[in-house]
Chain A
């Protein structure tokens, strides 16, 4: 395959815009591969690893677009390059006229604040190496910050949070995927009704799942404060989580507080629990993957996202919704009858890191040892993320999959590729997929995922076996991508749809446990047969 590389100098585009241009170019020209990346060092390393780096790209700067087009046919490559340049030109801001200049967007946060003089929050999603600098500029202008960017060094996070604390400002993030402030969804956020339950969490998808379940139980969210995944480390000290608790304590709308996080560092955990005890409102705490802990006083401890939502709803005054433990077993009974004895393993292909952790927690409690690129404490780390062996839970939103690419909640390409790969493995019993709806996510995930599920199941069937695919949809009926429609499309493709991330983990666990039990029973029968 021929590869053509070039640079479009001095033009910045975010990764989502570049992905859109790539996809349109492939659709319009039929070219095999288009890769568009800004000329950062990490993106060059990515191209190197992918075998796509060339001398022509070495001089690219972070403010230049690197263009890589690959195909067997030179005329397709030429057509694709014309299409890319045409689209880039079409997206560039028009300059020249006085009218255009007057409408030109500001080039800096200072310029933005000059236009929006009542602004109180900066939503920052620039590449990680530049993110802390932009956050500092926003704090200097008196803005609270939601820092969506990830890959921000922890010493920079500590520095900006200390500046914020001195100024009495809030920094949600870095790596804060979601927040709801006074009913306004920020970042990746679902559309949920307003209500009495306030959330604070170091886990973006964990917050999204809990808020969606609360909505689906008929209750609502007052605020959701994202802290970013590193906030509860010893270095950062839970600065944002503690501020978030203060906010929710003072917020008249919030009657019940729920905290969702990976287990904080021990000193931070102690401070968070002490603060929770003192806020004068019921608090549900889910430190997912941590040691089970007893509830005491106003602090209620839970160990799954589903239980967290149910407990918060119950404390808000509603009858506690029922559990679907039975349906996990029922689903396993339905699925296992059509599997072959060689199919024993689970493959969780997650776009949400919290879902990946929750599955590992539930699987581990049942004796299922899964490897992961984001392992629980004490679990085995995958040496090579491309490897497929045994039980695996993969977080496709982690750095090794997202450098130079949009998040898998936006771009399903990598996940679909992996789904089809796992479907070809005769030892795989069940694949688990999360589908996250809401603002920021793919506008119609089921439209592209459903055909891929059909292909995966057909590929397994062509090799003489059935493949179970369990999906859960993190969303609501008010999201831009309607929840029921998305579920229906995935079910029509043959996926087993369950109501929550917790249910998906339990159902898949039930399948793996059943297959392992059948296997050992067959082994016993074979041995007994041999003895006769």
Chain B
């Protein structure tokens, strides 16, 4: 198998992880303490808090 044939997740181990954090803000400090680049997303429930509508919007790529 060539590198190009390998699934993309195999590259996860090939370099230093960079993280987008969505949810518990406490994880951001832990990661930064480990020297990891992390961007925190100030998340709020979308679609007026309706989980089914949020799932539908996500399927539609919104």
CA A105 to CA B28, docked complex, whole Å: 12
Please give, as numbers and ranges, the residues of chain A lying within 8 Å of B51 by CB-CB distance. Answer: 62, 129-130, 133
The reply to whether A125 and B55 form a contact with Cβ atoms under 8 Å apart is no
Is A223 touching B13 in the complex (CB atoms < 8 A)? yes
Name A106's closest neighbour in chain B (CB-CB): B41
Q: Is A493 an interface residue (CB 8 A)?
A: no
Q: Are B42 and A107 in contact (CB under 8 A)?
A: yes
Q: In this complex, what residue of B is CB-closest to A14? A: B24
Residues of B within 8 A of A495 (CB): none
Does A134 sit at the interface, judged by CB under 8 A? yes
In the bound complex, residues from chain A placing their C-beta under 8 Å from that of B19 are 116, 119, 121-123, 186
B16 touches A126 (CB 8 A): no
Pick the residue among A61, A111, A182, A251 that contacts B16 (CB under 8 A): A182
How far apart sit A14 and B16, CA to CA, in the bound complex (Å)? 28
Q: How far is the CB of B53 from chain A (nearest CB, A)?
A: 9
Q: Which of A165-173, A335-343, A377-385, A502-510 contacts B (4 or more CB under 8 A)?
A: A165-173
User: In the assembly, what is the distance between CA of A125 and CA of B39, in Å?
Assistant: 14
Per-residue interface assignment for chain A, residues 75 to 116, with 1 indicating a CB less than 8 Å from any chain B CB and 0 otherwise: 000000000000000000100000000001111110111011
The CA of A186 and the CA of B57, in the complex, are separated in Å by 28
Judge whether A118 is part of the interface by a CB distance below 8 angstroms: yes
Closest A residue, CB atoms, query B48: A61
Pair A243/B7 contact, Cβ less than 8 Å: yes
User: Given A125-B23, A149-B23, A439-B30, is A61 in contact with B49 using a C-beta cutoff of 8 Å?
Assistant: yes
User: Within the assembled complex, what's the spacing in Å between the Cα atoms of A185 and B30?
Assistant: 9
**Contact among A109, A116, A120, A124 with B12 in the assembled complex (CB-CB below 8 Å):** A120
Give the residues in chain A near B49, CB-CB below 8 Å.
39-40, 61-63
A12 and B45 form a contact (CB under 8 A): yes
Q: Is the CB of B8 within 8 A of A156?
A: no
Cβ B41 vs Cβ A136 within 8 A:
no
B20:A122 contact, CB within 8 angstroms:
yes
Q: Interface code A51-78, partner B: CB below 8 Å = 1, 0 otherwise?
A: 0000000000111000000000000000
Q: Which of B7, B36, B41, B54 contacts A105, CB < 8 Å?
A: B41
At the interface, is chain B mostly helix, strand, loop or mixed?
mixed
In the assembled complex, the CB of A52 is this many whole angstroms from the nearest CB of chain B, namely 21
Q: Are B9 and A119 in contact (CB under 8 A)?
A: no
- A166 CB to closest chain B CB (Å) equals 10
CB of B11 within 8 A of chain A? Answer: yes
Contact with B along A137-153 (1 / 0, CB 8 A): 11010111000110000
Bound-complex Cα distance A120 to B15 (A)? 10
Quick check: A247 and B10 within 8 Å, CB to CB?
yes
Instruction: Knowing A17-B25, A130-B51, A133-B55 are in contact, say whether A184-B40 is a contact too (CB < 8 A).
Output: no
Residues in A with CB closer than 8 Å to B22 are 109, 112, 122-126, 134, 138
0 or 1 for each of A344-377: is its CB under 8 Å from B? (1 = yes): 0000000000000000000000000000000000
Interface CB pairs A-B, < 8 A, 22: A12-B43, A14-B23, A17-B25, A63-B45, A109-B22, A112-B21, A118-B37, A119-B18, A125-B21, A133-B46, A133-B51, A134-B58, A136-B58, A140-B61, A182-B15, A186-B19, A243-B7, A243-B9, A246-B7, A251-B13, A439-B30, A440-B27
- CB within 8 Å of A: which residues of B? 6-13, 15-27, 30-31, 33-34, 36-46, 48-51, 54-55, 57-59, 61
Chain A residues within CB distance 8 Å of chain B: 12, 14, 16-17, 39-40, 61-63, 93, 104-109, 111-113, 115-116, 118-127, 129-130, 132-134, 136-138, 140, 142-144, 148-149, 156, 167-170, 181-182, 184-187, 223, 243, 246-247, 250-251, 439-440, 480
Nearest 8 Cβ contacts at the A-B interface: A62-B49, A125-B23, A168-B7, A129-B51, A133-B58, A170-B9, A168-B8, A112-B20
Given A136-B58, A247-B13; 20 other pairs, CB 8 A cutoff: A62-B50, A63-B48, A106-B39, A109-B20, A113-B20, A121-B18, A121-B20, A123-B20, A123-B22, A133-B54, A148-B24, A168-B9, A170-B9, A184-B17, A184-B31, A186-B31, A223-B13, A247-B9, A247-B10, A250-B13
